[in-house]
Amino acid sequence: MDININVLEIQQKINKIKKQDQQVNLVAATKYASVEQMIALYHSGIKKMGESRVEVLLQKQKRFNLPVEWHFIGTLQSRKVKGMINEIDALHSLDRLSLAKEIEKFRSKPLKCFVQVNTSGEETKKGLRPSEVMSFIHELKPYAKIEVIGLMTMAPNTKDTQIIRTCFQTLKSLQQEIQQKMTWATCENLSMGMSNDYLVAIEEGATHIRLGSILLKHNE
């Protein structure tokens, strides 16, 4: 099966370049995956599923009853928090206090959160500016239901590897600053790298990569 081959090839590439003590978690970005494909991903060893649309997440969960971690990797509107926030294990897109307040209100237990950072400066991308991250995380300290486990970013869609690398290096520097100055925020993880740039992300310290199309591609 193509999916089995794809996962095996990706894992081999990851193992070849990651540091000896670096743990890389593969989150399957399942926006375009059918439930049948998700089942194949599960049986290929992937136990983290990442959805970017609330309605689709809830629909797929009803049909997919295998034990996986559900990661929400898209933009989350505050008005949709109540109906889904207790159905996920991690959120990769925390970027504003209004969202944190809704999570605090409706979440039944602490939620693992990645703070989203716009390291590229592109207006089309969501996330905090790097200069805003420290103060934002400081403001999150009173929120008992928010567990800041890391930072997330998306690099530009470009073939210029140095531009991509710089975005990931910026995120890594922010992580190190947070760990030095805010001991209450573990911030041990970096969610960065997608199908076109995950190898660069791993080289720069990624702990979570969000892969979609590369997992589902057909092999000739």
Q: Residue 92 pLDDT more than 90?
A: yes
Q: State the architecture of 2-216 in CATH terms.
A: Alpha-Beta Barrel (3.20)
111-144 burial code (b ≥16 CB/10 A, e <16): bbbbbbbbbbeeeeeebbebeebeebbeebeebe
pLDDT confidence of residue 217: 87
Query: What are residue 110's phi and psi, to 5 degrees?
Result: -55, 140
Question: How much of the chain is helix, strand and coil, in % rounded to 5?
Answer: 45, 20, 40
Structure tokens at 52: 């970017």
- pLDDT at position 54 is 98
- What is the CA 101 to chain-centroid distance, rounded? 21
Q: Which helix (H) or strand (E) holds 27?
A: strand 25-29
Judged on CB neighbours under 10 Å (0-12, 13-18, 19+), 181 is exposed
Spell out the domain ranges in the chain.
Answer: 2-216
**58-87 confidence digits (pLDDT tens):** 999 999 989 999 999 999 999 999 999 999
- Which tokens is 70 given? 């559900």
Residues 144-161 pLDDT 10s: 999 999 999 999 999 999
Task: Decide if pLDDT at 218 tops 90.
Answer: no
**pTM for the full model?**
0.96
Distance CA 9, CA 91 (A): 27
Whole-number Å distance between alpha carbons of 115 and 113: 6
At 103, the pLDDT band (50, 70, 90 cuts) reads very high
> Please, what is the average pLDDT of the chain?
96
Q: What is the mean pLDDT of residues 30-39?
A: 95
Residue 38 host element (H or E):
helix 35-43
Work out the average pLDDT over 94-115. 98
